[in-house]
Amino acid sequence: MKRLSKTIDRIKPVDKEIMEEAQKRLDQLTKPHGSLGRLEELAKRVVGITGKPNPALNHKLIITMAGDHGVVEEGISAFPQEVTSQMVYNFLRGGAGINVLAKHVGAKVQVVDMGVATDLERSPELIIKKIGYGTRNFTEGLAMSPEEALQSIEAGIEIVEELSQNGLDILGVGDMGIGNTTPSSAIIAVFSGCRVRDVTGRGTGIENKVFDNKVKVIEKGLVVNKPNPEDPIDVLAKVGGFEIGGIAGSILAGAAMKIPVVIDGFISTAGALMATELAPLTKEYIIASHNSQEVGHKVMLERMGLRPLLDLDLRLGEGTGAALGISLVEAAIKILTEMATFADAGVSERTNEIPYQ
What contacts 172, CB < 8 A, 6 or more positions away? 60, 61, 62, 63, 107, 261, 262, 263, 264, 289, 319, 322, 323, 325, 326
CATH code of 60-328, in short, is 3.40.50.10210
Q: What was the pLDDT predicted at 350?
A: 67
Q: Please list the pLDDT of the chain residue by residue as tens digits (357 residues).
A: 899 999 999 999 999 999 999 999 999 999 999 999 999 999 999 999 999 999 999 999 999 999 999 999 999 998 999 999 999 999 999 999 999 999 999 999 999 999 999 999 999 889 999 999 999 999 999 999 999 999 999 999 999 999 999 999 999 999 999 999 999 999 999 999 999 999 999 987 888 999 999 999 999 999 999 999 999 999 999 999 999 999 999 999 999 999 999 999 999 999 999 999 999 999 999 999 999 999 999 999 999 999 999 999 999 999 999 999 999 999 999 999 999 999 888 877 766 544 544
Q: Which of 40, 243, 318, 330 is catalytic?
A: 318
- Catalytic annotation present for 318: yes
- Spans of all domains in the chain: 2-54+336-345, 60-328
Q: What was the pLDDT predicted at 289?
A: 98
What contacts 290, CB < 8 A, 6 or more positions away? 264, 265, 308, 309, 310, 311, 312, 314, 321, 324, 325
261-263: strand order across its sheet: 126-128, 108-115, 60-67, 170-176, 261-263, 286-288
Q: What was the pLDDT predicted at 69?
A: 98
User: The whole model's pTM is what?
Assistant: 0.96
Q: What was the pLDDT predicted at 274?
A: 98
2-54+336-345 to CATH, choices 3.40.50.300, 1.10.3720.10, 1.10.1610.10, 1.20.1250.20: 1.10.1610.10
Q: What was the pLDDT predicted at 352?
A: 58
Q: What was the pLDDT predicted at 347?
A: 78
